[in-house]
A and B are shown apart, each in its own frame.
Chain A
Amino acid sequence: MMGMFFWAFVVGGIICVIGQIMMDVFKLTPAHTLSILVVAGAVLDGFGLYEPLIDFAGAGATIPITSFGNALVHGALQEGEQHGIIGVLTGMFEVTSAGISAAIVFGFIGALLFRPKG
């Protein structure tokens, strides 16, 4: 279990460093950086490489935004296996819903609770 925490820290940290390098060295905006990372996660899952990373690093791989792309592909592939091409379209948000719905719900609650600063 301690190993899990250690590798979650290292892998999560490395993914963040990749993001930082994209922002600092290649001078991309945060929106560009995050979009590229999400696409990278999707591509990695397409090659079946992201799942082993999650097995290895746990939250170190599921918490960074790359996992969003991974989950999208995963849901789409799962449904695609059962229902063919239409399944690819309908299954996409099957697995991912948590992050987005949480962001929507908590975003709205946040807007109700808090006032803009400055």
Chain B
Amino acid sequence: MADEKRKNLTAVQQDYQAFAKERETKRPVLKNCIRAFFVGGLICVIGQAVSYFYMYFFDFTEQTAGNPTVATMVFLSMILTGFGIYDRIAQFAGAGTAVPVTGFGNAVISAAIEHRTEGFVLGVGSNMFKLAGSVILFGTFAAFVIALIKTIAVKWGGLG
């Protein structure tokens, strides 16, 4: 698609694009990936520790400990987001903080805090899911389609 677009441009524009591409700061992909790996891994280790905590002190099994663990991680992310620490870690870690559920929490919570000045209904209420909404939408819709296909396949196709 990008190539097609380029063909329609004049020579000058093409030159400019080449020029812009040259000047574009190269993203240090490897370095970013290593950072994402360690920070993301660390968040998951913390999550594992939390779920062991729930299993050890409460009647949660490996299966059921997932939900309270996720809630706890979102709670931690609220505190870190509120004090502005999460954003600082995010600058360093990139996807390492965005991909775990804490990143989802951060997106919701920071939007809520940011729009607080516009009031609770119009500000917080309607802006909370500005960033996270697409995740919920596509997740839910994809899940619906997949589950529908599978259910139909199992019920009438004799699959599974």
By size class, the interface of chain A is: 35 or more
Q: How far is the CB of B93 from chain A (nearest CB, A)?
A: 8
Instruction: Please state if A43 and B142 are interface contacts (CB–CB under 8 Å).
Output: yes
Main secondary structure, interface of B, reads helix
Mark out the residues of chain B between 23 and 60 whose CB falls within 8 Å of any chain A CB in the assembled complex: 27, 29, 32-33, 36-45, 47-52
Instruction: Please state if A9 and B114 are interface contacts (CB–CB under 8 Å).
Output: no
Instruction: Please state if B27 and A24 are interface contacts (CB–CB under 8 Å).
Output: yes
Give the residue name and chain of the B residue nearest to A69 (CB).
Answer: B139
Give the residue name and chain of the A residue nearest to B98 (CB).
Answer: A30
Q: How far is the CB of B8 from chain A (nearest CB, A)?
A: 21
> What total count of A-B pairs have CB within 8 Å?
269
Instruction: Please state if A103 and B105 are interface contacts (CB–CB under 8 Å).
Output: yes
Give the residue name and chain of the A residue nearest to B51 (CB).
Answer: A59
B134 within 8 A of A: yes
Instruction: Please state if A81 and B151 are interface contacts (CB–CB under 8 Å).
Output: yes
Instruction: Please state if B131 and A31 are interface contacts (CB–CB under 8 Å).
Output: yes
Give the residue name and chain of the A residue nearest to B132 (CB).
Answer: A103
Instruction: Please state if B44 and A13 are interface contacts (CB–CB under 8 Å).
Output: yes
By size class, the interface of chain B is: 35 or more
Q: How far is the CA of A102 from the CA of B48 in the complex (A)?
A: 18
Residue A39 contacts which of B52, B95, B132, B139 (CB distance < 8 angstroms)? B139
- With known contacts A65-B103, A77-B151, A31–B43 Cβ distance under 8 A: no
Give the residue name and chain of the A residue nearest to B135 (CB).
Answer: A34
Q: Mark A85-118, 1 if CB is under 8 A from B, else 0.
A: 1011100100101111111101111110111110
- Complex contacts, A66 vs chain B, CB 8 Å: 99
Instruction: Please state if A89 and B117 are interface contacts (CB–CB under 8 Å).
Output: no
- With known contacts A34-B103, A64-B101, A12–B146 Cβ distance under 8 A: no
Instruction: Please state if B47 and A59 are interface contacts (CB–CB under 8 Å).
Output: yes
Q: How far is the CA of A77 from the CA of B40 in the complex (A)?
A: 29
Instruction: Please state if B70 and A38 are interface contacts (CB–CB under 8 Å).
Output: no
Q: How far is the CA of A85 from the CA of B151 in the complex (A)?
A: 7
Instruction: Please state if B143 and A12 are interface contacts (CB–CB under 8 Å).
Output: no
Q: Which one of A9, A34, A35, A68 has the highest number of Cβ atoms from chain B below 10 Å of its Cβ? A: A34
Residue A62 contacts which of B45, B70, B74, B155 (CB distance < 8 angstroms)? B70
Query: Can you list 20 A-B pairs, Cβ within 8 angstroms, ordered by A?
Result: A5-B45, A15-B99, A17-B36, A34-B98, A35-B134, A42-B143, A46-B149, A59-B48, A62-B47, A63-B70, A63-B101, A72-B139, A73-B143, A73-B147, A76-B147, A85-B151, A92-B144, A107-B108, A108-B128, A110-B82
